[in-house]
Chains A and B, each alone.
Chain A
Amino acid sequence: MLKKKPSPEDQAEPLTRRKVLSWLSGFSLCGSAIITVFSNFTFITPRATYGQPNRFSVGRPEDYPPGARIALEAQRICMVREGNQMAAISTTCTHLGCIVASSETGFSCPCHGSRYDQDGNVTAGPAPKHLPWYRLTLAPNGELEVDKDTEIEVGTYFKV
C-alpha cells in the first residue's frame, strides 16, 4: 500500500478509537447527570396539592343579592353581584400575596399600601397588575363554581 503523507490537519487531530470512545462516554455521563437532575426536580414538583382546591362551589346565585360584594376570606375571593351579573375577584394582592381588605373605593392592601378600585384595577401603590378575575360557571346542581386556575378579563361578568 502506498503510504500517503498526512496533511497538517490530520496530524493535528487524528481521530482515534480511544478519542471517540472517551467522547461518547463523557457525553453519556453528562446526559445521565442531566436526566438525574431533571427527574429529581420532577419528583419534588407536586402533581397533587393537599391544600385548598382551586375549583370550588360558592353556593347558589340567590345567596348573593344584587349589589352585594361579599368577601369569602378562606377562598381568598370577593363575590360581586350587580343586577344579574356576577364576578369572582381575587383578594390576594398581586404585589406580595397579602390579603386585600375591602375599602370604600375598592380594595386596599395592608402590607405595602397597594390600592385597587371596585373592579380590581390598581390605583395606587407598588402592585404590578390588577386583581385577577376568575371564571364562574353554573354547575348542574344550580351552584356557582369558581375556577381559580382560569383567569378571565377584567369586566367579564357571568350572567345569572
Chain B
Amino acid sequence: MQLIYKNALTNKMRKTANVNAALAAATCTLLGTSAVVQADEGVWEMDAALLYYGETERVTAVEGVFSAKKDFGDEHLFSTKITADSLTGASASGAVAQPNAQTYTRPSGKGQYVVATGEVPLDDTFHDTRAQLESQWTQPLWNDMRGSTGVHLSKEYDYLSIAVNGSFAKDFNQKNTTVSAGLSLAYDTIDPEGGRPVAFSEMVIDEGQFANEEAYQAAFDATRQTGTDDKTTVDLMFGMTQIINRRMLMQFNYGLSMSDGYHTDPFKVLSVVNDQGLTQSLVHEDRPTERTRHNFYWQTKYALDVGVADVSYRYATDDWDVSSHTIDSRFRFNLSDITYIQPHFRYYQQSAAEFYQPFLIEGTTLPTFATADYRLGEMTAYTLGIKYGMKMPSGNEWAFRLEYYQQDPKNAGFDEPGALKQLDLYPSVKAVIAQVSYSF
C-alpha cells in the first residue's frame, strides 16, 4: 500500500509540478486525518427553544423551534430549522364595540358568539397549528463569491406557503466589505374553513328569521366563494456589510417585495354604523390584490470590552400607504466570563393603510377596498425585555428571555358618531413573551 502511494505522489509531482497536493496527502497521513474528508469537518450545532406568547384576554401561542447547522468545511454550510406553533384564544374581528351586546356568526358559519356591551368584538374561535420547515445551503463560488440557496415550507390548517430563495454575496476590500443580492419567490394558497367571504357581503346572522337550517345555510353560502385562492410574492434584497474597524460593523439593506393575489383576511369584518354610531350590519372586508413594499434597514454592532451593543433602524413603506419606523436595540453585558444579561428595547410606529377605516357609515358610497383590521391601522408598539444567558463548561449555552409587548392602536383621524364616542375603539394589546433556549 505504502509503496504504491509513494509512487503515485512522485508521478503526480512530475506531471503537474503541484507539490502542494502531494504534500497535503502526506500531511493527512502524518496527522491521522483523512485526505478525503479534510480535517475541518464541523460538528452539528443545534439549538432548541420553547417560546410562550400570551396576550391578555386574546391570543396565546406556544412555539417550539429546533434548528441545526453544520459546517462541512471550506465554508460549505447547511442549516435547517423546524418550527411548530399552536395558537389559541381570540382575535379582534374588526367590528366595533357597541353600547349593547352583539351576536356574531363564526367565520365557519357553524355557531355564534356573543360580545358583551362595550367590549371589542373578538372572534373566539381563533386557533391554529402551524408547522414550518426551512433549509439553507451556502458555499463559496468563484472569485470570492458565496452563493446561498434555500427552501421554506409553512403549513397551517387552511394555509400553505412554499418559498425558494437564492442569493449571492461577494467580498471586497480584503473581506471588509460584503455586497449581496438575493431573490425569493413564494407561493401561498389559502382555503379557509367555511370558504372565502364575498367582498363586502353582509354577515349572515341567524336571529330566528330563517325557516330552517337549510335556509340559513343557503343564505350563508351565498356570501362565500368556493375553492382556494393564492398569492405569489417576489422579494428582492440588496445588502452591504461594512467592517468599520475591529470593534464595529455596519449593515445596510434594501428590500423590494411585490405580492400579487389574495391579500384579504377571510376572518375580518367591518361594522356598518348609522349616524348614531349603532351597528346596522357587518360586512366582510376586501383588500387590493397587489402590494409593493420597500424597506430600508440599517444595523450597527459595536463590541465593547464589557459586551456588545446592537442598534438597528428600519423604514418600510408601501403602495397601501402603510409606512413604519422600527428602532431595535440590544445591549449584551457580560456579567462574568460565562454569563451575560441582555436588555432589549424596540419601538415601532406605523401609519394606516389608505383603505383602512375603523367602520363604514350607512348610506355612504361603498369604497373600492376597506379593512378595519387594527394591524393595518395607525399604531405604535414597544417591547421591553431582558435575556439572561449562561455558558456551560462544555460550551453549550442556556438562555432565558422575558419580554413585555404593548401595541397601542390610534385613531387615524376618523370622526366617531354618537355612541362610538363613549366606547374604546382602539384598545391596547398587551402581551408577555417568555422563552427558554438551549444551544448544544
Q: Do these two chains really belong together in a complex? A: no
Residues of A whose CB lies within 8 Å of any CB of B are: none
Residues of B whose CB lies within 8 Å of any CB of A are: none
